[in-house]
Amino acid sequence: MSSSFLESALAPIDKAAGLLGLKADVVAALKRPERAIEATLRVRMDDGRIALFPAWRVQWNGALGPYKGGIRYSPDANLDEVSALAALMTWKNSLMALPLGGGKGAVKVDPKALSKGELERLSRAWAGAFFDVIGPEKDVPAPDMNTNAEIMAWMSDEYSKLAGKEMLGTFTGKPVEKGGSKGREVSTSYGGFVVLKRYLEGKSRSLKGLSVAIQGFGNVGGNIARFLDEAGCKVVAISDSRGGIYKKEGLDIPKRLEDATGVETISNKELLELPVDVLVPAALESVIHDGNAKNIKAKVILELANGPVTAEAEQVLVEHGIDVIPDIMANGGGVMGSYFEMLQNASGHYWSEEEVLNKLELQMTEAWEGLEEVRKRFGITYREAAFVRAIERVAKAVESKLP
């Protein structure tokens, strides 16, 4: 990703500023990171040599609270990309009505080229390099692309060693047995499920009997398929990277892709263009673009993946009366699950999965109601309303703290 990605992450600020009448000094503050830290990680490799890896942590805005956002390992990582992602986390955390700012971290590395020992040493090196700028009340990282619960456990352990005491709340997305939260694995999917319910309630409709197609049947896609199936939806198509299956009468979701009895085989392209009530892109970015937008027949699109609908495609969809529930709202349950892990680490009291999901439903509902209020106030799209709502909260906090 290039500076154009950063520009797109900041573009909603000007639209929001115009609608909200934001002051120039507040707008300027929103467009710059509060801190961008770069480090070089020195890691002993299995063959004895020392390898150097560029690493970053960008803390975009902390007006609402401690910075929060993931750490990714990618051979393509760069400062512009990390900055853009940190800005987007600022808006997402604000939209979710969380007392958190936005941040993001990365290491420029191909994790597939490392042994497990090298990966652990790299992860511990990251925690050491950024020790002074992270912590439960400063900045709380989480997993992202090519990082996972095990990596968070290594980082958490390293941070605690350096601090001289256990500091579980410095990282989220940890294994449950090491201070992680129950329900964290399904929080993104469940949040999307709740948002879809609230959207339909606003249209005086229910989930029961609706036809759904889901592109991407990994953790997020698989779990929302289960939630929708249990709520009475008819999941007619699912897919993974190899392709998908379709059954007009509805698939037997518990059996998933393993049982292809009485189904049609379809491509991912065909799945996106099915005549369904709800389309859930839960895999890759930019799968709905100006080349296929005119062929989309769903009544509403729930963006569980990041950026599955391009800006050009969304213009076409809106013109055709197709609502798009944007990723910043639809997949916000993930960061909400992380926030709940922070609360549990701070209190030492841990919740059941049922408690986590009940709290998640309440918080996602509050976030959705905030978005809807802004959408109706200004007569704008769901995506525009999401960003205006998010930026409005951050701007008020920034203004209250300016001297």
Each residue's pLDDT tens digit, 199-241 = 999 999 999 999 999 999 989 999 999 999 999 999 999 999 8
Q: Taking 80 as the threshold, does the pLDDT of residue 255 lie above it?
A: no
* Mean pLDDT (the chain, rounded): 95
**104 catalytically annotated:** yes
| CB contact set of 112 (below 8 Å; sequence gap of 6+) | none
CB-based contacts of 388, cutoff 8 Å, min separation 6: 12, 15, 16, 19, 20, 374, 378, 380
Q: 253: pLDDT confidence band, cut at 50, 70 and 90?
A: confident
Judge contact between 34 and 61, C-beta under 8 A. Answer: yes
pLDDT (average), residues 116-134: 99
The residue from 104, 182, 197, 234 that is catalytic is 104
Region 104-116: what's the mean pLDDT?
98
The CA-based dihedral angle spanning residues 338, 343, 349, 354, taken in that order and rounded to the nearest 10 degrees: -50
> Domains of the chain, with CATH numbers?
33-170 (3.40.50.10860), 179-403 (3.40.50.720)
CA–CA separation, 241 and 89 (whole Å): 27
The pLDDT tens digits of the residues spanning 3-24 come to 688 998 999 999 999 999 999 9
Q: Which two tokens stand for residue 398?
A: 């920034």
Task: For CA atoms 116, 120, 126, 129, give the dihedral sign.
Answer: negative
CA 26 – CA 29 distance, rounded (Å): 5
Strands of 284-336, DSSP E: 300-302, 323-325
Q: What is the DSSP string of 5-41?
A: HHHHHHHHHHHHHHHHT--HHHHHHHTS-SEEEEEEE
> How far apart are the C-alpha atoms of 78 and 8, rounded to whole Å?
16
Lowest pLDDT segment from 131-145, 252-266, 359-373: 252-266
In eight-state DSSP terms, residue 173 is S
Q: What is the C-alpha separation between 119 and 367, in angstroms, rounded?
A: 37
Give the whole-angstrom CA distance, residue 220 versus residue 207. Answer: 19
pLDDT at 1: 40
Q: What percent of the chain has pLDDT over 70?
A: 98
Q: What's the average model confidence in pLDDT over 283-305?
A: 96
The predicted pLDDT at position 241 comes to: 87
> Position of tokens 């897919």?
239
Give ∠ CA 266-271-277 in degrees, rounded to 5: 135
Query: Is 92 assigned a ligand-binding role in the annotation?
Result: yes
**Any binding-site annotation on 338?**
yes
Is 219 flagged in the annotation as binding?
Answer: yes
Confidence (pTM) = 0.93
Of the candidates 4, 11, 54, 63, which has an alpha carbon nearest to the alpha carbon of residue 33?
A: 63
